[in-house]
């Protein structure tokens, strides 16, 4: 392992997670142990004190039953053999004279108890004190009691056994803890790495995609967990990006195609003029067709810019109160000649008035684009109906035709820029009419929906908000 690798491993999330888990686990275990340790210490101490108090009461009873001799005898009995190392007794007169004691050979030098302890009265609570690190480094707990007036019994109990018991517990715990930490670290590391495998997959896929393979996807290893969700979301995002890329490529191809045709026509016309020799009529015709083609190109470019402006919300709408009935009627007048020329019936079903707030010019273009399409894609003998329905808070303008209809597979795409269902582009148009109508309708807070049956006809419906003071 190189030092660079070691460095990045130390910085890795798996390493830091392991460290955090290990640290938190060790700290909480130590805290829990500390609590148990203190509790045990208190319980053990309480038990020793209880024993000592009981002994004190017993010796008071011995005094009553058998006098001083019985007390002395019991003192010796209690410290027979090895007990002498753990327990000692001394009997004091209240004047501070030692009247008897058990074998003190295994005990360090003991002081004379302080005066206030020697003045203890019979029946008073026994006094307890601790001599720290007294015997071979162990604490000694001492009780003072007065079995009879003028007499004080001192009993000492070594805490060596208790301390050893707690010491064994402490060692056991430390061994267990270090074992668990030593074992837990590699297990934690393994688990963290395993859990983060999904993230590594996503990272690897992302870097492969960055180097050009856009069709790469992340394998979804498990179902339902956060990493699977990340992988699925990532894949969905890639699908969408790929679809957008394909769409954009198609759009630029279409754009190139639509630019090429008029340019080729301009060039051909110029070439023909040159080949056919001079003559002002020739040049005039050529100039006219050039202007016509240029206008078409400019229209296309302007339409693209208008759509972009409306979609981005940058378009400033000249909002005014508009009577849609009058606006649709005007469009009817304008397009009726085209319809007659094509032997189509153009009809309107309109309320007397229908008020909306909107930008007159843009709404005119919405109606014109949809009506133009309806007439364009309907053959002779067909019928186009403009139907306006005012149902506050909504206004619906439908343009129904009995034309060629739209293939179902094209339906989701007809509002895309430059998209045309007929790839041979036999009809005039640039594929921008519907996207412009939709962009303008949406800029008004409205929408356009479409229903179509192939071979039977289509209905485009513009939805707009009715003006609030609409007369109904
Ligand atoms: P175009 O300039 O080609 O008309 P549009 O954006 O207006 O572009 O329409 C996109 C495509 O949707 C058209 O090429 C046409 O195939 C289809 N379309 C639009 N309106 C109708 C309609 N009323 N009937 C059938 N097809 C239609």
Report how far ligand 1's centroid is from the alpha carbon of 420 (Å): 6
Segment 192-216, tens digit of pLDDT: 888 888 888 888 888 988 888 888 8
Report whether pLDDT(236) > 70: yes
Report how far ligand 1's centroid is from the alpha carbon of 421 (Å): 7
Nearest protein Cα to ligand 1, atom 12:
414
Q: Which residues contact 293 (CB under 8 A, 6 or more apart)?
A: 262, 263, 265, 266, 269
Report how far ligand 1's centroid is from the alpha carbon of 383 (Å): 17
Contact 417, 303 (CB under 8 A): no
* Residue 36 or residue 221, greater confidence: 36
Rounded mean pLDDT, 326-345: 96
Report how far ligand 1's centroid is from the alpha carbon of 430 (Å): 9
Report how far ligand 1's centroid is from the alpha carbon of 443 (Å): 21
Q: Lowest-pLDDT range, 123-132, 224-233, 332-341? A: 224-233
Ligand 1 atom nearest to CA at 374: 23
Mean pLDDT of the chain: 88
Residue from 255, 303, 344, 373 to probe ligand 1 pocket by mutation (most atoms less than 8 Å from CB) = 373
- Tell me what pLDDT residue 260 has: 86
Ligand 1 atom nearest to CA at 433: 7
Ligand 1 atom nearest to CA at 422: 16
pLDDT bucket at 471, cuts 50 / 70 / 90: very low
Query: How many Cβ atoms sit within 10 Å of the Cβ of residue 375?
Result: 21
Pocket-forming residues, ligand 1, beta carbon under 6 Å: 373-374, 377, 401, 403-406, 414, 419-422, 429-435, 458
Q: Which residues contact 233 (CB under 8 A, 6 or more apart)?
A: none
Residue from 258, 368, 434 to probe ligand 1 pocket by mutation (most atoms less than 8 Å from CB) = 434
Report whether pLDDT(6) > 60: no
CA distance 265 to 259: 10
Q: Which residues contact 355 (CB under 8 A, 6 or more apart)?
A: 321, 322, 323, 324, 466, 467, 469, 470, 471
Rounded mean pLDDT, 373-387: 96
Nearest protein Cα to ligand 1, atom 3:
431
Report how far ligand 1's centroid is from the alpha carbon of 414 (Å): 7
Q: What percent of the chain has pLDDT over 90?
A: 43
Report how far ligand 1's centroid is from the alpha carbon of 439 (Å): 15
Segment 242-276, tens digit of pLDDT: 888 887 887 788 778 878 888 898 898 888 888 88
Nearest protein Cα to ligand 1, atom 19:
373
Ligand 1 atom nearest to CA at 432: 6
Ligand 1 atom nearest to CA at 421: 16
Ligand 1 atom nearest to CA at 405: 25
Residue from 414, 423, 428, 461 to probe ligand 1 pocket by mutation (most atoms less than 8 Å from CB) = 414
Residue from 377, 379, 384, 399 to probe ligand 1 pocket by mutation (most atoms less than 8 Å from CB) = 377
Nearest protein Cα to ligand 1, atom 17:
421
Nearest protein Cα to ligand 1, atom 14:
420
Segment 401-458, tens digit of pLDDT: 999 999 999 999 999 988 888 766 667 888 899 999 999 999 999 999 999 999 999 9
Nearest protein Cα to ligand 1, atom 21:
373
Contact 91, 17 (CB under 8 A): no
Q: Which residues contact 359 (CB under 8 A, 6 or more apart)?
A: 317, 318, 319, 320, 440, 443, 444
Nearest protein Cα to ligand 1, atom 16:
421
List the structure tokens of 413: 């795409």
CA distance 332 to 387: 11
Report whether pLDDT(470) > 50: no
Report whether pLDDT(1) > 60: no
pLDDT bucket at 97, cuts 50 / 70 / 90: very high
CA distance 366 to 389: 17
HSE on the CB side for 142, CA within 13 Å?
Answer: 21
Q: What is the pTM of this model?
A: 0.55
- Asked if the bond preceding 421 is cis, omega within 30° of 0, the reply is no
Rounded mean pLDDT, 291-295: 89
Nearest protein Cα to ligand 1, atom 2:
429
- Tell me what pLDDT residue 367 has: 98
- Tell me what pLDDT residue 9 has: 63
Contact 465, 444 (CB under 8 A): yes
Report whether pLDDT(385) > 90: yes
Ligand 1 atom nearest to CA at 404: 25
Instruction: Go through 382-407 and write b for each residue having 16 or more CB atoms within 10 A of its CB, e for each that does not.
Output: bbbbbbbebeeeebbbbbbbbbbbbe
Report how far ligand 1's centroid is from the alpha carbon of 432 (Å): 9
Report how far ligand 1's centroid is from the alpha carbon of 366 (Å): 13
- Tell me what pLDDT residue 472 has: 38
Report how far ligand 1's centroid is from the alpha carbon of 453 (Å): 14
Instruction: Go through 34-61 and write b for each residue having 16 or more CB atoms within 10 A of its CB, e for each that does not.
Output: eeeeeeeeeebbeebeeebeebbeebbe
- Tell me what pLDDT residue 62 has: 93
Report whether pLDDT(356) > 80: yes
Q: Lowest-pLDDT range, 139-143, 177-181, 300-304? A: 177-181
């Amino acid at each position: 392992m190189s030092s660079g690798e070691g460095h990045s491993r130390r910085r890795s999330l798996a390493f830091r997670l392991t460290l955090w888990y290990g640290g938190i686990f060790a700290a909480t275990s130590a805290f829990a142990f500390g609590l148990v340790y203190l509790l045990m210490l208190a319980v053990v101490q309480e038990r020793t004190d209880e024993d000592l108090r009981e002994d004190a009461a017993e010796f008071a009873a011995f005094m009553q039953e058998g006098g001083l001799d019985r007390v002395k005898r019991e003192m010796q009995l209690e410290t027979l053999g090895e007990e002498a190392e753990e327990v000692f007794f001394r009997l004091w007169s209240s004047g501070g004279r030692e009247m008897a004691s058990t074998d003190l050979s295994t005990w360090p030098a003991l002081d004379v108890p302080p005066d206030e302890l020697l003045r203890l009265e019979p029946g008073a609570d026994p006094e307890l004190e601790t001599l720290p690190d007294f015997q071979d480094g162990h604490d000694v707990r001492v009780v003072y009691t007065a079995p009879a007036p003028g007499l004080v019994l001192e009993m000492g109990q070594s805490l060596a056994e208790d301390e050893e018991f707690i010491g064994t517990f402490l060692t056991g715990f430390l061994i267990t803890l270090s074992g668990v930490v030593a074992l837990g670290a590699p297990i934690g590391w393994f688990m963290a790495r395993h859990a983060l495998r999904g993230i590594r997959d996503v990272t690897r896929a992302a870097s492969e995609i960055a180097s050009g393979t856009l069709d790469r996807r992340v394998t979804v290893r498990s179902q339902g967990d956060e990493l699977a969700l990340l992988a699925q979301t990532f894949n969905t995002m890639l699908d969408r990006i790929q679809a957008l890329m394909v769409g954009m490529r198609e759009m630029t191809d279409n754009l190139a195609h639509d630019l090429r045709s008029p340019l080729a026509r301009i060039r051909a016309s110029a070439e023909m003029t040159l080949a056919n020799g001079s003559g002002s009529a020739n040049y005039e015709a050529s100039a006219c067709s050039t202007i016509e083609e240029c206008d078409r190109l400019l229209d296309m470019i302007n339409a693209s810019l208008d759509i972009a402006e409306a979609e981005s919300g940058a378009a400033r709408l000249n909002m005014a109160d508009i009577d849609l009935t009058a606006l649709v009627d005007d469009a009817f007048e304008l397009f009726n000649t085209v319809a007659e020329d094509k032997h189509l019936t153009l009809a309107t079903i309109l309320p007397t008035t229908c008020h909306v707030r909107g930008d007159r010019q843009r709404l005119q273009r919405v109606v014109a684009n949809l009506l133009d399409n309806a007439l364009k894609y309907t053959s002779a003998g067909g019928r186009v109906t403009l139907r306006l329905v005012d149902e506050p808070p909504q206004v619906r303008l439908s343009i129904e035709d009995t034309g060629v209809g739209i293939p179902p597979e094209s339906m989701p795409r007809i509002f895309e820029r430059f998209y045309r269902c007929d790839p041979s582009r036999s009809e005039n148009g640039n594929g921008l009419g519907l996207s412009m109508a939709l962009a303008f309708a949406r800029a008004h807070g409205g929408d356009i929906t479409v229903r179509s049956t192939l071979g039977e006809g289509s209905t485009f419906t513009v939805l707009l908000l009715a003006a609030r003071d609409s007369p109904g």
